[in-house]
Amino acid sequence: MVPAVFQSFGMVWSVGSMVTRGVLAAFVFAAVGAIRAEPVGPGIAWTRVYSADVLPDACGWGTSKGAETRSELTPDGLHIVDGGTRTTQLHCFSRSWSARAERGGAAQATLRLISCTGRSGMCLHVSDGTHEDSVTFYPDRIRLAGSDLEYAMDTTDTFHTYLIRFAGINIEVWVDGKLAIDGWGSFIKPAHNGRRTVMFGSISSAATGEAYWKDVRFASAIVAAEQVEGANNVIIYRREGVYACFPNLKVLPDGRWITSFGTRSRRSHIDNTGGSARYVSNDEGLTWARSSELLPDPRMVREDGTAINPHARGWVYVDEAELPAIRERGRRWMSVRKGTVAYLGDPRVRFRHPDGTTSRVLELPCPAPAGVMSFHQSCSFLRLGKVWLTAIYGSESPKGRSGVWGIRSEDDGETWDVVQIAAPRSIGLGFNETAVCANGQGEMVAMMRPKDGAMNTFQCFSSDGGKTWGPPEDTGAWGYPSHVLLLRDGRLLWSRGYRRDAMGVRALVSADGGHTWDLKNEIIVRADGTGNGGDNGYPISAQKTDGDVFTLYYINDNENVTHVAGTHWPLPGTK
């Protein structure tokens, strides 16, 4: 079998050659040759290098620090001390990366150990979304946790350089340029929650450890993808230490575009600590300025000036003392931060007078016992004449499969009911975040994110104004979440997050109302995202007056800063 070969950042990866020792190893470095032949040298183009000149959490590394632990910069490097043995008493730093099992990766650290009392008391960890392992540094040996393979040495006498490299189910550990542990076929421990991280320090509560770290570096192959020709990327909001996420987009009748988004202090999809920001553009997304003006989405304002907002209440934040009652109700819940939990609420419709006062809130029966959520309304809301529809989703139990419903009105928002779009088990799958759009051919189309992230996006259609819906159909394309836009020439544009390498945003066009998509001519809007795939996407597209498209999204960059950006790009077939 001829191996598949990937080349990037100075490395050539030979993926298909991992079956026997008689062929090349899982990957070879371009400047080095076969994995058995020579030690890894300067030919590696490291994706990221930490050189102990600042604290790791000041330059993009995540951190976990418990009591009786500490880290400080010294002339000998980053000094990490973990003297605690109780739960949460650990001290480590982590960084997301793009390592994948089929392409492998490498991580290297130079350190001098002082002490280590047990497994992971002082270690270097790698995970690729499928597998994970870590090397524990004991005073008299190093040890691979997943296989218990060891190499005897003095780790305390001086600084040593330790290199972990892996691909598929194979892993090796090199010490000072020499192969120390041959873990051929032993990289098999499942990655916890599918994580893709490099970690170093103490990741064990029970064990203690101390070491000086001079540097930590890693390299992971990234599949290259060429952005659509003529694209122009703009940054709307980017701040070190701020997790900017989930932007929406409002196009106002006076031509202004407004976006608002989260500015969270934690890399979390549920902890909203940090608040939000709002920006306005007067030139269709080319430049943006901070704005304090709070305006409703014009699509949700009736002719009499009443703003109507149909939505799921989503996460409701309460004191953790209310948790027993939440569990009793069977609601889905999550811990947010110390002392605070969040549970899923019910669907409702909020009415607001032109003077800004709330006239009433209509509570609707909840179709999902575990509670419901809204996808952001730039994607999930549709108004077609007097028919209003917002897609929501939820499940029968906190861990059950989710289904999709619509909060619907057919009398311009006077009365409301809840309709089924896709049942939780309609085809043996669950669905959640759903974008809706009118396709210009008398139908509504719903693009549904499957609960199983490995599946393609599914869609279904309604020909009676969203009252009833056909069965879910496979679109043949992967990526989520979605946004669908009816273009001025009658075609549909489907934008979606792409949380695989090359990570970013992609788009497809349909000439028949979304029943088929031009899969052979996929548009790559952005393809240079890094880190955790969950820190990327949620695109929204708008067509500009010149026919080009502006796509808004959030994305994680090489500095591990998740920020809000947009891309202006020419739409094929419009000029």
pLDDT digit string, tens, across residues 459-469: 999 999 999 99
Greater model confidence, 17 or 339? 339
Which pLDDT does position 8 carry in this prediction?
A: 35
Ramachandran assignment for 235, one of left (phi > 0), alpha (psi -120 to 50 degrees), beta (any other): beta
Output the six-digit token pair for 23.
């062929």
399-to-43, 340, 386, 421, 483 alpha-carbon distances in Å: 47, 21, 36, 20, 26
Kindly list the domain boundaries of the chain, sorted by start residue: 5-220, 232-569
| pLDDT above 90 for 515 | yes
The rounded percent of the chain whose pLDDT value lies above 90 is 70
Backbone angles phi, psi at 57, to 5 degrees: -75, -5
Choose among 267, 261, 318, 266: nearest CA to 288. 261
Under 8 Å between Cβ of 460 and 472: yes
Beta bridge partners of 264: 243
CB atoms within 10 A of CB 357: 7
Strands annotated E in 282-339? 289-290, 307-312, 315-319, 333-337
For residue 435, give the H/E element and its range.
strand 431-438
Which pLDDT does position 339 carry in this prediction?
A: 92
CB atoms within 10 A of CB 37: 10
Mean pLDDT of 446-466: 91
CA-based R_g, the chain, Å: 26
| pLDDT above 50 for 5 | no
| Mean pLDDT estimate for the chain | 88
The amino acid sitting at 494 is W
Mean pLDDT of 425-442: 89
Confidence class for position 574, pLDDT limits 50, 70, 90: low
| pLDDT above 80 for 34 | no
Q: Would strands 77-82 and 209-220 be described as parallel, antiparallel, or unpaired?
A: antiparallel
Q: What is the dihedral of CA 312, 379, 481, 539, to 10 degrees?
A: -130
Q: Over the stretch 526-564, which tens digit does the pLDDT of each residue have?
A: 998 877 677 889 999 999 999 999 999 999 987 778 999
Which pLDDT does position 73 carry in this prediction?
A: 96
Q: Over the stretch 54-98, which tens digit does the pLDDT of each residue have?
A: 999 877 788 888 889 999 999 999 999 999 999 889 999 998 787
Mean pLDDT of 287-293: 95
| pLDDT above 80 for 31 | no
Output the six-digit token pair for 372.
């419901």
| pLDDT above 80 for 199 | yes
Choose among 415, 426, 510: nearest CA to 468. 426
Mean pLDDT of 155-164: 97
| Max mean pLDDT range (27-31, 33-37, 155-159, 371-375) | 155-159
What's the CATH number for 5-220?
2.60.120.200
The residue behind tokens 């009911």 is 417
For residue 326, give the H/E element and its range.
helix 323-329
| pLDDT above 50 for 153 | yes
The residue behind tokens 């210009």 is 440
Mean pLDDT of 341-345: 93
| pLDDT above 60 for 573 | yes
Confidence class for position 269, pLDDT limits 50, 70, 90: confident
Q: Over the stretch 37-55, which tens digit does the pLDDT of each residue have?
A: 233 344 567 878 899 999 9
The rounded percent of the chain whose pLDDT value lies above 70 is 90
Which pLDDT does position 125 carry in this prediction?
A: 97
Choose among 77, 10, 6, 14: nearest CA to 42. 10
Give the Cα separation of 59 and 299 in Å (integer): 42
Under 8 Å between Cβ of 55 and 206: no
Which pLDDT does position 426 carry in this prediction?
A: 66
| pLDDT above 50 for 280 | yes
Class (C level, CATH) for 232-569: mainly beta
